[in-house]
A and B are shown apart, each in its own frame.
Chain A
Amino acid sequence: MKRTLQILALVVALGGVITWAATGANRAWTKTSVPVKTLDEVTGIEGITYKKQFLPGVDFLGAAFGGAALLAGASFFFRKPKTNQPTNK
């Protein structure tokens, strides 16, 4: 169990970093939509619409590390499995 939680903590931390980096390493807050600008040819006005897109930010990264720390911390409540020592007769 101890080992499982430690591996899970590593997966959560690495998964968070990889997801964050793969989506553009946004160093601002997490966004669930991004503005899209469209030009109106007649008036010259740039219209703004929002496209749904998950863009993880530093708070996402923090949550991933926090989750990983919790899992790693929880692993200390479990003892290492005892291994049978060979006995010399």
Chain B
Amino acid sequence: MKLTHLIPLLTLTTAVYAAPQAFDFKDPKGVNNAVFKLDAPLESINGSANGITGSVSFDAENPGATTGKITVTAASLTVPNPMMNGHLHSDKWLDATKFPEITFEAKSLANVKTEGNVTTAEVTGKFSLHGVTNEITAPIKLTYLKDKLADRVPNMKGDLLVIRANFKINREEFDINKGQYTDKVSTTIDLSLSIAGAAVAK
């Protein structure tokens, strides 16, 4: 077999076994956010966090193999009321000094469905908050935007991966005021993650 015959074969092999891309979720635009909501008697407590970093390994040919870890800085959680903000970060609630990071480490995806560039699935992984780690499963939506990095960050070529996930956690399962203030703040916390990561073309 001539060398010229080998080149297309090598190209095909590389395409079939394309390595998954590593997407970096440190957002230069600062729009990545995690929104949280807790019910309370007078008004629901709504806040957000934008101190998000992390890396996700994604293969457009095999989205079901997606894994990764997303970290949210506890100090970046913000609510519009200054007193509530102080309570939120204090040792009575999140204890942001002692537990500065909230993390989710995706281990596996199930019920994976892909249509075009959008994949929906149920992600299972380890969620760490307030020094406690629990396994959770949540619906997730992955949108792969090939060659769209340049549209967002000029002079940079590559792909984007948008991740959206909505899930509920129980604060008592993370040892946050277990059995306390249940009449003032709900134990269920609604979380909504909207983040975009970039894989720079090499």
Contacts and interface: CB of A to CB of B under 8 A. Distances in A.
B140 to A, nearest CB: 15
Interface of B: 29-33, 35, 42-43, 46, 48, 50, 78, 80-84, 143, 145, 148, 151-152, 160, 162, 194-196
Contacts of B195: 45
Contacts of B30: 47, 49
B33 A47 contact: yes
A50 B171 CA distance: 25
Interface of A: 27-35, 38, 40, 42-50, 55, 58
Question: Taking chain A's interface residues, is the majority helix, strand, or loop, or is none over half, making it mixed?
Answer: strand
Contact of B81 (A30, A42, A45, A48): A30
B80 A33 contact: yes
A29 B81 contact: yes
Contacts of A50: 78, 80
Given A29-B81, A40-B31, A42-B160, A35 B48 contact: yes
